[in-house]
Amino acid sequence: MEAAPALGEPLPEPAPVPDCVQCARLADERERWRAAGDDTRVSDCNVWMRRHPTHEHRVPW
Ligand SMILES: [Zn+2]
């Protein structure tokens, strides 16, 4: 048994804001990707959800 490393742990998933259509869509999409086993897409949805309320989808780099 080894202790879980403090670094490299995934961030807690953001919760969708109830009255936000974008958050609802992202939450829905996130669950679909999770069901598909695509963790990368799940992470993408989390990133976009954290950008509430603007939900800027363009990557800045
Ligand atoms: Zn939102």
pLDDT for res 18: 95
Q: What is the pLDDT of residues 8-56, one digit of tens each?
A: 666 689 999 999 999 999 999 999 999 999 999 999 999 999 999 988 7
Q: Is the pLDDT of residue 59 over 90?
A: no
Q: How far is the CA of 51 from the centre of ligand 1 (A)?
A: 7
Label residue 5 by pLDDT band (50, 70, 90). low
8 A C-beta contact, residue 49 and residue 26: yes
- Give the residue carrying structure tokens 């990707």: 33
How much distance in Å is there from the Cα of 2 to the middle of ligand 1?
38
Q: How far is the CA of 44 from the centre of ligand 1 (A)?
A: 14
Ligand 1 centroid, distance to 37 Cα (angstroms): 24
pTM: 0.74
DSSP letters for 1-61: --PPPSTTPPPPPPPPPTT-HHHHHHHHHHHHHHHHT-HHHHHHHHHHHHTTTT---S---
CA of residue 52 to ligand 1 center, whole Å? 4
